[in-house]
Structure 1
Amino acid sequence: MYNDILGYIYLPIQSASALMSVIAPITLSARNLIRRFGQREVIHGVSLELRHGEVLGLLGHNGAGKSTTLQMLTGALLPHSGEIEICGFDLTRQPQKAKAQTGFLPETPPLYREMSVNDFLIFAAKLHRIPRAQIADALTETKRRCGLQDSGKKIIGTLSKGYQQRIGIAQAIIHQPAVIILDEPTVGLDPSQIRGIRTLIRELGNMHSVILSTHLLGEVESICDRVEIMHHGRLIYGDSSTKMQQYGSQSGFIVTLLAPPALSELEALTDVQQIDPLSTTQFRILHAANTNPSAALLALAAQHGWQAEQLVPLRTRLEDVFMQITQDEKL
Structure 2
Amino acid sequence: MSIEVQNVSKSYGTQKALDNISFSIKKGEIVGFLGPNGAGKSTLMKILTTYINADEGSAAVNGFDVVADPKNVQLSVGYLPEHNPLYLDLYVREYLEFNAQVYKVAKSRIEEVIKLTGLTAESHKKIGALSKGYRQRVGLATALLHNPDVLILDEPTTGLDPNQLVEIRNVIKNVGKNKTVFLSTHIMQEVEAICDRVIIINNGKIVTDKQLEKLVSEIKEQIIEVEFDLTLDESLWASFAELTSYTNNKGTLWELNFATEVDMRPMVFDFAQQNNLKILQLNLKSKNLEEIFREQTKAK
Q: TM-score band, normalised by the shorter chain?
A: 0.7 to 0.9
CA distance in 1, matches of 2:201, 2:242: 36
CA distance in 2, matches of 1:163, 1:208: 22
Work out whether 1:147 is the aligned partner of 2:122: no
CA distance in 1, matches of 2:232, 2:55: 66
Q: Aligned residues, how many? A: 299
| CA contact 1:226–1:240 (8 Å) conserved in 2 | yes
Work out whether 1:85 is the aligned partner of 2:69: no
Aligned-partner SS, 1:114: coil
2:151 to 165, 171, 180: 180
In the superposition, the TM-score normalised over structure 2's length comes to: 0.84
CA distance in 1, matches of 2:72, 2:166: 34
CA distance in 1, matches of 2:276, 2:15: 67
Q: CA deviation at 1:69?
A: 0.8
Partner of 2:181: 210
1:94 to 60, 69, 79: 69
Partner of 1:225: 196
Greater Cα shift, 115-124 or 51-60: 51-60
Distance 1:283 1:153, change over 3 A: closer
Partner of 1:75: 50
CA distance in 2, matches of 1:284, 1:206: 40
Aligned-partner SS, 1:100: helix
Partner of 1:170: 141
Partner of 2:41: 66
| CA contact 2:32–2:195 (8 Å) conserved in 1 | yes
| CA contact 2:223–2:287 (8 Å) conserved in 1 | no
Q: Which runs of 5+ in 1 are unaligned?
A: 1-25
Distance 1:169 1:300, change over 3 A: same
| CA contact 2:80–2:139 (8 Å) conserved in 1 | yes
| CA contact 1:54–1:208 (8 Å) conserved in 2 | yes
CA distance in 1, matches of 2:251, 2:128: 58
Structure 2 counterparts to residues 1-331 of structure 1, below 5 A: 26-38=1-13, 40-130=15-105, 134-136=106-108, 138-244=109-215, 250-258=221-229, 272-273=242-243, 276=246, 278=248, 282-295=253-266, 307-327=278-298, 330-331=299-300
Q: CA deviation at 1:243?
A: 4.9
CA distance in 2, matches of 1:115, 1:322: 40
Aligned-pair identity in percent equals 32
CA distance in 1, matches of 2:282, 2:264: 12
CA distance in 2, matches of 1:272, 1:42: 40
Q: CA deviation at 1:96?
A: 2.4
- Superposed CA RMSD in Å reads 3.2
CA distance in 2, matches of 1:261, 1:154: 62
Q: CA deviation at 1:163?
A: 0.8
Aligned-partner SS, 2:192: helix
Distance 1:161 1:265, change over 3 A: closer
CA distance in 1, matches of 2:230, 2:43: 58
CA distance in 2, matches of 1:39, 1:312: 48
Q: Deviations over 1:244-264 (max 9, x none)?
A: 557776224233454899999
| CA contact 1:273–1:287 (8 Å) conserved in 2 | yes
Partner of 1:14: none
Aligned-partner SS, 2:224: strand
Q: Which runs of 5+ in 2 are unaligned?
A: none
CA distance in 1, matches of 2:6, 2:126: 42
Q: Which amino acid in 2 is paired with 1:100?
A: L
Greater Cα shift, 49-58 or 97-106: 49-58
Greater Cα shift, 171-180 or 58-67: 58-67
Q: Which amino acid in 1 is paired with 2:140?
A: I
CA distance in 2, matches of 1:326, 1:266: 30
Q: Which amino acid in 2 is paired with 1:228?
A: I
Q: Which amino acid in 1 is paired with 2:37?
A: N
Q: CA deviation at 1:218?
A: 3.3
In the superposition, the TM-score normalised over structure 1's length comes to: 0.77
